[in-house]
Amino acid sequence: MNLLEISNLTKTFGGLRALERISLTVKPQEILGIIGPNGAGKTTLFNCITGFLPFDSGSVVFDGHNIQGKKPYQIVNLGLTRTWQLLKPFFGMRVIEAMMVPSFSKRARSSHLSKKNEKENIAGILQDMGLTKQLWLEVDNLSQGELKLLDILRAFVTRPKILLLDEPFSGLSHKEIENISRLIRKLNNEGLTVVIIEHRLRELMKLVQKVVVINFGNKIAEGTPEQVVREPKVIEAYLGKRGT
């Protein structure tokens, strides 16, 4: 059974068709990569899935629920959470405080952890990721790599079934990418399903089991990383046609 099913999703902005009948499925505990050139429609797809943009036609079914028309917070409370390409940290808060904010969501509160136990749980997560020293630092003082880790961990506190990551490797060093990749693998091994938009293809292909390629709002390929990188339409999308 699929955990997420997107069927014929179409989104237009005036006369511009940003997404054209996109269909894809995500299985439980899968890591799926979504790739494509700049402006292909990848983030628009995330925005439609998570309720930040209405779509014109098609359907999005998550864990048996048709989520079209639901508000973002309602979708989060069903177990579908995202991060953002442009980080949105809670500046002025300490790291532990920023991590506590999503613990007040309806889904997180349904775990029945006390505030003390929740704080201990979050502290344990941060310790696993090597952020113990930053626990009481203000978010403003974190590096870009630490902010990316914090963004993913903050989303994880909502206890999602699927986590959508929008360019988690953007602007990071190789070491920082290794830390993020290790976190993604750890969460996936614990049962989390992950969907990743990413331009750093070499690093992404090491993580995912399946890849969907979008170009000009159309899905042009789907398969394993090995299959997709040999697909002529994908090569053309990234490199152009020979002789042009």
What is the rounded CA–CA span in Å between residue 201 and residue 208? 10
Residue 113: per-residue pLDDT: 57
Would 80 be classed as within a structural domain?
Answer: yes
Asked if residue 173 belongs to a domain, the reply is yes
Query: For residue 48, which of 72, 28, 30, 24 has the smallest C-alpha distance?
Result: 72
Q: Which residue range(s) make up the domain with 32?
A: 4-239
165-182: per-residue pLDDT in tens? 999 998 888 888 888 898
Question: Per-residue pLDDT for 88 more than 80?
Answer: no
Per-residue pLDDT tens over the stretch 175-207: 888 888 988 998 999 999 999 999 999 999 999
* Distance separating alpha carbons of residues 91 and 131, to the nearest angstrom: 17
* Average per-residue pLDDT for the chain: 89
Residue 74 in any domain: the answer is yes
Cα–Cα distances in angstroms (integers) from residue 101 to residues 73, 154, 186, in the given order = 13, 8, 23
> CA dihedral defined by 195, 198, 204, 205, rounded to 10 degrees?
90
Contact 237, 220 (CB under 8 A): yes
- Is residue 244 domain-resident? no
The model's confidence at residue 112, banded by pLDDT at 50, 70 and 90, is low
pLDDT band at residue 244 under the 50/70/90 scheme? very low
Residue 145 belongs to some domain of the structure: yes
Torsion angle (degrees, nearest 10) of CA 46, 52, 57, 61: 60
Sequence letter at residue 165: L
Res 148: pLDDT: 87
Question: What is the side-by-side strand order in the sheet with 65-66?
Answer: 16-26, 4-13, 57-62, 65-66
pLDDT of residue 115: 61
Does the residue 201 lie in any domain? yes
Q: What is the domain count for the chain? A: 1
| Higher per-residue confidence, 128 vs 201 | 201
pLDDT at 119 over 80: no
Q: Is the pLDDT of residue 48 over 50?
A: yes
- Are the C-beta atoms of residues 5 and 65 closer than 8 Å to each other? no
∠ Cα 5 204 202 (to 5°) = 145
Q: Is 189 exposed, middle or buried (0-12, 13-18, 19+ CB in 10 A)?
A: exposed
Read off the CATH number of the domain in which 203 is found: 3.40.50.300
